[in-house]
Amino acid sequence: MRTRNRLLAGLNALLLAGLGALTTPSPAHAANLLSNPGFESGTLSGWSCSGGTGSVVGSPVRSGTKALAGAATAGDTARCAQRVPVQPNTTYSLSGWVRGSYVHLGVTGGASTWTSSASDYTRLTVSFTTGATQTSAEVYLHGWYGQGTYHADDISLDGPGGGDDTQAPTAPGNLRVTGTSATSVSLAWDAATDNVGVTGYDVFRGGTPVASVTGTQATVTGLSPNTAYSFTVHAEDRAGNTSPASAAVTATTDEGGGGTPGFVQAAPYLYLGWGNPPNATEVMRATGIKWFTMAFVLAQNGCNPAWDGQRPLTGGVDESTIKAIRAAGGDIVPSIGGWSGNKLGPNCSTPEALAGAYQKVIDAYDLKAIDVDIENTDEFENAVVQDRILTALKIVKQNNPGLKTILTFPTLNTGPNSWGNRLIERAAALQADIDNFTVMPFNFGGGADMYGNTVRATEGLKNKLKSTFGWSDAEAYAHIGISGMNDSSDTGEITTPQIWTQIRDWANSHHIGRLAFWSVNRDRPSWQFTSITAGFTG
């Protein structure tokens, strides 16, 4: 009930803020500045919807034959927006017909209005006045978290068009490929110029728009392995003028489909901050294991990475252990975060600051991969921090060609929960280009079928990745990891060496990308689970 009250209070505050921004409309020429206002084209042409949540439907409609459907989820309000040129110091009237619960209509950075419940199409209207130098405005519609699909039709922005700036930007220059994986291509280009100012870039694959960014680099995901693609980029200015296309560039994705993943890692957890840690190189000699997931990098004095939030990245036991592992032919991936402790995600205030913290860890060890273990209410069940982590991982991946990024997070025994689904959906929407989504299929309850639940949870993850990214079964499995718990879990479940062998064999037969368990410290004295994990081949 308190959650419901907070939601309503937030919505009331939003309404009051919108009402406070209303102005008395001045006379203006009646001209709808929006393109495709009734979605009669049968497409979302002119509109951009978050996370693939928007679609055009034939029913219910207010007029004509088409309308917008926005599929709001627990993690996405299904925001659909369109930017148009306007004139400074001018009053405009925005209106639209909407149907659904908690549907909002407004202008970014300005006035908005909403309806709490409209069982049939209801008209929303709001007015706003542009700023002294404003030459474009973005209008938007969205629903509300967990309130289901809304519908909208006949959206209108009335007022004089922005005719002061008709000069398009120059074409972006020197479009180039900066990295590839089996399912992604990273691009960069030189900035376009404009008489007023460039506001963003649209990346096209062939003739299809696949990414919109404000900077001069992007990663296009959801591609097929060993396939050639052609890309161009257009620049856009504040008045909505679009540049000519850049010169095209062709890139071929890496091999990795057909059951041959491009990234394979057998990496049980090694924790140097707990009890009497085992000697890593002795474990390697006894078991054949090559990789370790080293736990845990936390925050120290704000947004500064440190082992357990206490030990420095260099000059201590952690660095000497990493050097010994590498001298023995192995390597490590740091586990950043975890269930408890003071974590970087909430302590770094911006994605850029968080990316800077990750970069310190990468630079300290010249890493090939990093893992962010995102758990608990401070990171996993926090939409702002989820997005911050995903954006930070996108930044460090763009700045470190070849770096592999891993997300480790809890799961239900049927697949990701609502927060896990949101994490995956936002990874796609933000184009974070995550290489591996690792689930932790345990703590379902004592007496659970650990093999059966692990397989069901992983299959649920596979299905979510397929539906979100458009991947095949092989592509989805190649992006999946399993992180189990040897012997007894926190809730008394038992995973025996025999069960772990079954899980490993299933993982090998489905060619998933990663296998880990918590932990080598608990695998004494025979290192059975570590030896079994060393047989993971992906």
Decide if 245 contacts 233 (C-beta within 8 A): yes
Helix, strand, coil in percent for the chain, rounding step 5: 25, 35, 40
Using the 8-state DSSP alphabet, how is residue 122 labeled?
E
Going from the C-alpha of 69 to that of each of 96, 121, 146, 421, the distances in angstroms are: 14, 13, 15, 20
- Residue 22 CB partners (closer than 8 Å, separation 6+): 111, 126, 127, 128
Active site residue 282: no
Q: Strands 185-190 and 173-180, how do they pair?
A: antiparallel
3-state secondary structure 28-94: CCCCECCCCCCCCCCCCCCCEEHHHCEEEECCCCCCCCCEEEEECCCCCCCCEEEEEECCCCCEEEE
What b/e sequence results for 302-323 when a residue is b if at least 16 CB atoms lie within 10 Å of its CB, and e otherwise? ebbbbbbbebebeeeebbebbe
On whether the CB atoms of residues 200 and 211 are closer than 8 A, the answer is no
| 3-state secondary structure at position 350 | coil
Distances (CA, A) of 122 to 49, 62, 101, 202, 537: 21, 9, 11, 34, 58
Q: Is 78 within 8 Å of 71 (Cβ atoms)?
A: yes
Judge contact between 437 and 407, C-beta under 8 A. yes
**By the 8 A CB rule, do 400 and 430 touch?**
no
Nearest to 359 by CA among 321, 332, 328, 393: 393
Q: How far is CA 497 from the centre of its chain?
A: 35
Name the active-site residue from 40, 138, 319, 375.
Answer: 375
Token readout for 241 is 């003028």
Integer Cα distance of 37 and 510 in angstroms = 47
- Rounded to 10 degrees, what is the CA torsion of 79, 13, 10, 109? 30
CA contacts within 13 A on the Cβ side of 108: 12
> Starting at the edge strand that comes first in sequence, how are the strands of the sheet with 228-237 ordered?
208-213, 198-205, 228-237, 249-252
Alpha-helix runs per DSSP H in 256-382: 280-287, 317-327, 344-347, 351-365
Q: Is 466 in contact with 495 (CB distance < 8 Å)?
A: no
Active site residues: 375
